[in-house]
Amino acid sequence: MFRFLAPLAVGLALSLSALAQPTGEIKVLIAIDPSDSEGLLINPTAIAATLGNAVGRPVRITKSDDLGNAMRATRTGEFDVYIAPAHVAASALNHGYDIVGATARDEPYILMTRPGVGAAADLKGTKIYLTQQDSVATYVARGMLNESGQSLRLFQDVMYRKTTGAGLFALTSGIVDATVAKRSDVEAWTQQNPGKGKALLTSKAVPGGMSVAIKRSLPDAQRARLVAWFESPGSVIPGIGRVAFKPDGASYEYVAGLGLFTPGQLPGATRVNVAEVDDLIRKGVTFVDVRSEKEYKERHVKGAIWIPYAEKSLKDVAFDPAADAFSGIDKLDPAKPVIFACNGADCWKSYKASKVALAKGFKSVYWFRGGLPEWLARGMPVDGGA
């Protein structure tokens, strides 16, 4: 769960600094989006010296423009501090780090298309311009498409480049049919090019600039000194700027979820909530729990049957069902309605099971996206263990 470091705790830790003498060096990863030209100004030596003076320990800086590896590193706890774009910081939050703040305001991203595009599905077979594959803009683009029930596989050609503004220029020139850019860039471009594009999808607010995340397990005094320096109005990270903004925790949770959550819709299936599921079960509709056997035996929706979905394919709307195993679906009658559910919005098994059922000709498929967590939150009856 997201959390900011509490000022009170920071002050207490500082007061105890004399009792907690940290040892070893502070390891800092500065993860740079190559599409951000400001990354060229970053001087690791200057940053190491500045932070070293602040915390009173040696600081070792690693600079990388491989954001995919940076996200993987957050899961291993390899670094003590991350100075990185929003999606890397959001990943760190789920793996033992706290956010100090960001260097720019939250800002939505917009999927801009040529005029006349009515829905994301209309972009099938077209071209899109994106910054590099692991950039925050591309990450958000995937999430927006995913939420609309689509995927980057929708496009015939995905042009990955390192220049952010070039996407809007390419759209103006007719080189591509879509691109993704920050709202401020879109607004400036629209003023110069009225009627040349359409805002098709808009994300929620995404923390801007670089975010700072610090490992929770650092010694209290050491961590407190770092936080105090980053939060000080007079502190500037050389080549990066000041951590002047404290984005709402929901902004990071949203960014983290873009790489995890199932779409909000599934064409052909009916998405249902707890009350609707309860009504359907009372009418005799089969409720299928597609989770693992262990999960099912521990606790499941009262009356649910167990048909596991063994998932090996990507968590993507364009997943390959041939990579998965769901032979148990053949036990069901395609002519009868069925409900599929698993562990909530970030569990893809029920989404995939519903999609497989539709492909097999099932006439009435209900997808309970909220699954067991939503069922339990409403205090509904369950079978199995406590």
**pLDDT tens-place string over residues 166-216:** 899 999 999 999 999 999 999 999 999 999 999 999 999 999 999 999 999
pLDDT of residue 303: 95
Backbone angles phi, psi at 58, to 5 degrees: -65, 145
CA pair distance 155, 323, nearest whole angstrom: 22
**Together in a domain, 238 and 277:** no
Q: How confident is the model at residue 9 (pLDDT cuts 50, 70, 90)?
A: very low
Q: Is the dihedral of CA 245, 246, 248, 253 positive or negative?
A: positive
Q: How many structural domains does the chain have?
A: 3
Give the residue-averaged pLDDT of 262-283.
95
Domain finish residue from 217, 237, 258:
258
Among 33-42, 74-83, 211-220, 323-332, the range scoring the smallest mean pLDDT is 33-42
**Together in a domain, 221 and 143:** no
Domain range enclosing 97 = 7-104+207-258
Backbone angles phi, psi at 361, to 5 degrees: 90, 15
pLDDT in tens, 99-138: 999 999 999 999 999 999 999 999 999 999 998 888 899 9
Domain finish residue from 159, 186, 202:
202
Beta strands in the chain (DSSP E): 26-31, 59-64, 81-84, 97-107, 109-113, 127-131, 157-161, 178-182, 198-202, 206-215, 270-271, 286-289, 299-301, 305-306, 338-341, 365-368, 382-384
Whether residue 15 is predicted with pLDDT greater than 90 in this model: the reply is: no
pLDDT of residue 8: 35
Give the residue-averaged pLDDT of 372-379.
95
Q: Are 178 and 111 in contact (CB under 8 A)?
A: yes
pTM: 0.75
pLDDT of residue 38: 54
Give the residue-averaged pLDDT of 38-45.
75
Calculate the alpha carbon distances from 231 to 10, 208, 241 in Å: 11, 16, 12
Pairing outcome for strands 59-64 and 26-31: parallel
**Residue 306 belongs to a domain with what CATH number?**
3.40.250.10
Backbone angles phi, psi at 238, to 5 degrees: -50, 125
Integer distance in angstroms from the first to the last C-alpha of the chain?
Answer: 24
Q: Are 103 and 243 in contact (CB under 8 A)?
A: yes
**Together in a domain, 244 and 359:** no
**Residue 27 belongs to a domain with what CATH number?**
3.40.190.10
Whether residue 22 is predicted with pLDDT greater than 80 in this model: the reply is: no
Whether residue 18 is predicted with pLDDT greater than 80 in this model: the reply is: no
**Together in a domain, 181 and 250:** no
